[in-house]
Amino acid sequence: MENFSKRYLNELFQQNRIRDSFSLNESNRIDSDDKQYDVFLSYCYTDKDYAIKIMNLFEKNGYKVYIDLKDPKLNRKKVDRDTVVRLSSVMNRCKSLVYVHTKSSTMSKWCPWELGYMSGKKNFRCATILLTEDKEEFPRQEYLDIYPYLNYGMDTTNHYQIWARDLDSNRYVNFRAYINGTNPYEHKQRR
């Protein structure tokens, strides 16, 4: 399984395995107040180009993803109580949250709030993507260690899947199973 990195996402884009962008036309805007989502994508705005790639990768794997960039009811220039009410309403309709952890996200005021809100609402159905440049190091937020991190790789039937993996262990599970309540577990070695 491959860890997510900026290099890896760029390679997937170069291989045409994911798209690099999306258009904000009427057909893909988020404007329904009752639509259900598998994933709420939490990221720092300075990382939006990679957030779009991550969103596209999840969508290619059959997940419904909420990303604020598609939401016409949000205004980044006016963040107020209405913003909190809107985000809370959307998060209540998401099964999970994926926290894109980068050097930029360590400075974000919203990412930790979104993670805390979803942890309480969705019984810790949150996961992190540690998105780095090659050999880039930055301090990991210690509270993120309680959530599985995600990687991407083939399953036993040679289909690419997103996996939720516990930090520093062999416990993992398909992300779809994870957001539906199954925790990462030890897998028996095949012979």
Delimit the domains of the chain by residue range. Answer: 2-186
**98: confidence class by pLDDT, cuts 50, 70, 90:** very high
101-112 pLDDT tens trace: 998 888 888 999
Share of the chain above pLDDT 90, in %: 54
Domain 2-186 coded CATH 3.20.10.10? no
Share of the chain above pLDDT 70, in %: 86
CA atoms in the 13 A half-sphere facing the CB of 84: 6
Extract long-range pairs of 143-150: CB within 8 Å, 24+ residues apart. Answer: 143/112, 143/115, 144/99, 144/101, 144/115, 147/99, 148/172, 148/178, 148/184, 149/3, 150/4, 150/98, 150/175
pLDDT value, residue 23: 57
List of residues 6+ apart from 184 with CB closer than 8 A: 148, 164, 165, 166, 169, 171, 172, 173, 178
Res. 1: pLDDT tops 90: no
31-87 pLDDT tens trace: 567 899 999 999 999 999 999 999 999 999 999 999 999 998 888 888 899 999 999
pLDDT value, residue 103: 85
pLDDT value, residue 107: 85
pLDDT value, residue 36: 94
- 95 near 40, Cβ under 8 Å? no
Helix 81-91 vs helix 110-121: crossing angle, to nearest 10: 40
- For residue 105, the one-letter residue type is S
| Global model pTM greater than 0.85 | yes
**Strands 94-101, 37-42: parallel, antiparallel or unpaired by DSSP?**
parallel
